[in-house]
Structure 1
């Protein structure tokens, strides 16, 4: 056998070749890491989700993350009054608007590889009706048999029928041509029945697997960070990012450091003033009015407000909504004089003339028999203990003191507060409402319809004409006519004034330049399936033959 011997000259050449190979390998590895980073986006959120389960969404952060993991049957565009199929390939309703048939898209699979079937849809919606699991059963209360499930008497609804693997039929108790908009709610997104049944009430908790059909799947959930990876089966897979990370910090200073260092690319949970400071050469400030509202409520069944509309009007006129909005939210809010914002076909707010509010407040108080608060008992303003509400209470105190009305503040833990409101224990209180889907009937019916008393109608407001208008709107196919009916219903509320509209939330985002396809829907959700990076798009274009 011939042997090779390394001479003194050959050894350096060999070492050089090895060093060169190692250097090339290092460059390749670094390049791979750079590409991976560039093909992903990280998003700052203020709080970590409690659940990643659409049936239990209770925060903006949960809605945001679940929007990347799960999908509903349809999407609804409130401007065009048009639904677009997502998991549904098509759907139709009968002439009376009480029977809907949804045909699912072919070939859709969950993240765990299981095929999407009509049984998953039925199961997911019945989970939402389950009072032990979800508080959103009211969305489906018009489905035949839903009342028995919501009350805990049955586990399945007779009005949800699986026709075959790709067809689910829904039978409604009353006509509702807005039902496809209801179906678009993130809460009614579809989960994999097999996996959700296996984990029961624990499904969606940190440490348990979840499975939707969205553009990303859950890869890892650690304290402080959630990592999602691209769902390569999804229709957006060719254009979407490889990964999506959610980094939790409620500290504005830490968020600033994360953004400056490149750890996060999008800020979602920072004050508007702070966000404005970051916008510039490296970032874009995006502001989007969303369907999230703040009211002051009166108990219509209690003294002193129940039978005195002039007293309620006096309280309304005494509050400077523009000042309150500016102090509490800055650019993250806009004051409301009406219930329905322009995004839902409502009219534009007309600003109040300077000084007219206080003069009108004193006039209405006098007409109610309480000039400058005379002979009016000490009012108690109730609110839950979430940060920010106490400051609102003190500002309300200050505003009403200017017209002689004294107010005491009552801060309550959230669960007790909600229970007490449903039992009618508070006469003057703060209310908030985040739309379940972007249609005017959601905010009007849920908050003021007679059939929602003791559930979402916490003012105990009742008006038969209002209820009739809501049902009439649900039967109207033409958007312009339906909006006119909603305006009539809104005028009744503004005349009776069971609530004082205060402000609407404006979602504020800081987006690093180079992030492409950034879009926010009326519910405040980011379209993660459309996100990308400019450099990644260029590489793909260059590599496409």
Structure 2
């Protein structure tokens, strides 16, 4: 996952929250025989953008959503396999276009209303019939990534919708119909963006009334103050000024109740500050542990969990940004100029590896037999000379004020890559930009960027979620149109037979590396850390850690 083009401003939320200092105090052992610690403060790198996961694509918003909401299907704990969620089972019809979901009974939303088939259809109908700014890719990014368009597309560039209809057959049976077979179904339905909300709360708090403008989107009260799901935690408060968001145990949860009573997400943007807050006991965990801190924190006795590498860092080459970049030889020269192994060895955590595809080798469809671009500065110089680009100057954007699982320190990565480019005669104009919104806006829209790096953490275990996200249609990030490649994606996605589809993804990976729209750099295993006395939480390659299973040792 990664943040989209975020031209948004969440409306100020005037709500009270528990002060972190007070919560930390309540977490201390009571020598007089008090109750077991039941409040955890978890340090996060940035504020959530919105509390309605229908509108979310940033990691911090989705982290909160995963505790408060549930989806029809969900990833297995600690893995990527599709397992039951609010649906106990699911089966396709003979054509593979209609899926029947058998729902759990006895489930209630946080507002006390019943979860049932009608509630499921109310949610899908809400998404499908979105209008106005809800059709902006900055608002419903994941719906558009998975389903394409809407019932009535207001932008002619939007594709037809994959989703067709939802039918409640009885209280615990629902049919989801699609316009064609798709590899995305049912796996994509475990994305937090397909969380099931209380229809009553959606209506009561005007959940679909997205206002403002495309440059300054204003979310309705539901999305900032009243998120209402079925999960093991329920929303309590969001103190924007003090950068804390508090959720509390849902004591009416149908499944195993959360062991923690209160969970607070505290924004601490600086990684060293998060580390010091952990050591001082002000927080009991944080994400995005720096590679150099993994072993020291383990030695100190902290509970460091390393996620499997399920991401990719890539260098994007915008073919519209500079006419020379439309020349394949120039793109090949850039690839041969980069010493990716040196970057992996010096800047990424143990277990990181150089990427051969734009997806990790744990996903079916990975192809080890693709064109490889070894580190070869002399070959890079020769290719530039052949292309008449020996005096090439490129604008190289890189982000500031951010840490991502696939890029622990963006400035260090930029310095290594730019030094490699300069060594083969490519002049680099450095353009540092604040991650959100400046960097994301600059690199995923328009034509002013030449080179930049971004990455992706997979949402589910399918090749389309990686390479399809990047290359299945024209995108401003890459600046190219290739009708044959786009047709290959459509063919692979609509292939019902799994074995045949995997072979088509392998062919796509080969075609992508021949076209070389960018250079896959690395796959990195990010780490998450908890306090010495915190146990019960399992690392997830999808960052789907379940805090409801966490507890403090006695």
Q: Same fold (TM over 0.5)?
A: yes
Please say if 1:131 is aligned against 2:135.
yes
Q: C-alpha deviations, 1:236-273, integer Å up to 9, x for none?
A: 43563333232332344543443234343322144232
Matching of residues 215-294 of structure 1 within 5 Å: 215-222=232-239, 223-238=242-257, 240-280=259-299, 282-294=301-313
Alignment partners' CA distance in 2, 1:173 and 1:364: 46
Number of residues of Structure 1 aligned to a counterpart in Structure 2: 495
| Deviation by residue 1:196-249 (Cα, 9 ceiling, x = unmatched) | 33333324555x122111111123333233332222333443563333232332
Give 2:482's match in structure 1, choosing from 462, 465, 485. 462
1:210 aligns with 2:260: no
1:141-540 aligned at under 5 Å gives the runs 141=147, 145=151, 147=153, 159-199=165-205, 200=207, 201-203=219-221, 206=224, 208-222=225-239, 223-238=242-257, 240-280=259-299, 282-300=301-319, 303-305=322-324, 307-325=326-344, 328-331=347-350, 334-345=353-364, 346=366, 356-370=375-389, 373=390, 376-383=391-398, 386-387=401-402, 389=410, 391-411=412-432, 414-415=436-437, 421-450=444-473, 453-454=474-475, 458-465=478-485, 467-478=487-498, 480-535=499-554
User: 1:319: how far off?
Assistant: 0.9
Gaps of at least 5 residues in structure 2 are 1-28, 208-218, 403-408
Supply the distance in 2 between the matched residues of 1:487 and 1:154 (Cα, whole angstroms). Answer: 26
When residues 290 and 32 of structure 1 are mapped into structure 2, their CA distance, relative to the original with a 3 A threshold, is farther
Deviation of 1:74 (Å): 0.3
Query: Which secondary structure does the structure 2 equivalent of 1:487 belong to?
Result: helix
The offset of 1:296, in angstroms, is: 1.6
- Say which SS state the counterpart of residue 323 (structure 2) adopts: coil
1:322-381 Cα offsets, whole Å, 9 max, x none, are 33345554559543232221231336799x99x9532332343344344xx2xx442222
Q: Deviations over 1:395-453 (max 9, x none)?
A: 33311111111122334565566556434443433333343333211111121113xx2
1:408 is paired with a residue whose SS is strand
Deviation larger for 153-162 or 359-368: 153-162
Query: Are the equivalent residues in 1 in contact too, given 2:250–2:258 (CA < 8 A)?
Result: no
For residues 486 and 541 of structure 2, the distance between their equivalents in structure 1, rounded to whole angstroms, comes to 25
TM score, norm. by length of structure 2: 0.77
Contact kept in structure 2, 1:162 and 1:168, CA below 8 Å: yes
Larger RCO (alpha carbons 8 Å, 6+ apart): 2
Structure 2 residue 90 is the aligned partner of structure 1 residue 103? no
Cα deviation code 1:465-507 (max 9, x no counterpart): 56335533542333x5433321211111011101111223432
Gaps of 5+ in 1: 1-28, 536-545
CA distance in 1, matches of 2:155, 2:251: 36
Aligned to 1:18: none
Bigger Rg over Cα: 1
1:296-339 Cα deviation digits (max 9, x unpaired): 22234565345422211110110112333455545595432322
1:59 equivalent in structure 2:
58
Counterpart for residue 15 of structure 2:
none
- Deviation at residue 78 of structure 1 after TM alignment: 12
Q: Deviations over 1:504-534 (max 9, x none)?
A: 3432122334433321222112122332344
Task: Provide the rounded CA distance (Å) in 1 between the counterparts of 2:145 and 2:201.
Answer: 24
How large is the Cα RMSD of the aligned pairs?
Answer: 3.7
Tell me which residue corresponds to 2:216: none
Separation in 2, partners of 1:267, 1:33: 29
Q: Distance in 1 between matches of 2:158 and 2:200?
A: 22
Contact 2:69 2:196 in 1 (8 A): yes
Q: Which moved more, 1:377-386 or 1:101-110?
A: 377-386
Alpha-carbon spacing, 1:203–1:127, altered in 2? closer, same or farther (3 Å): farther
Q: Distance in 2 between matches of 1:273 and 1:228?
A: 32
Label 1:416 to 1:264 Cα distance change in 2 as closer, same or farther (>3 A).
closer
Q: Is the 8 A contact 1:110 1:211 kept in 2?
A: yes
Shift of 1:109: 0.8
Structure 2: distance between partners of 1:31 and 1:253: 32
Q: Is the 8 A contact 1:298 1:305 kept in 2?
A: no
Distance 1:83 1:189 in 2: 15
Cα distance in structure 2, aligned partners of 1:58 and 1:275? 27
Aligned equivalents of 2:257, 2:49: Cα separation in 1: 31
Q: Per the alignment, in what secondary structure is the counterpart of residue 344 of structure 1?
A: coil
Kept after mapping to 1: 8 A contact 2:321/2:448: no
| Pair 204,270 (structure 1): closer, same or farther in 2 beyond 3 Å | farther
TM-score w.r.t. structure 1 length? 0.79
SS at match of 2:453: strand
Structure with the largest fraction of helix: 1
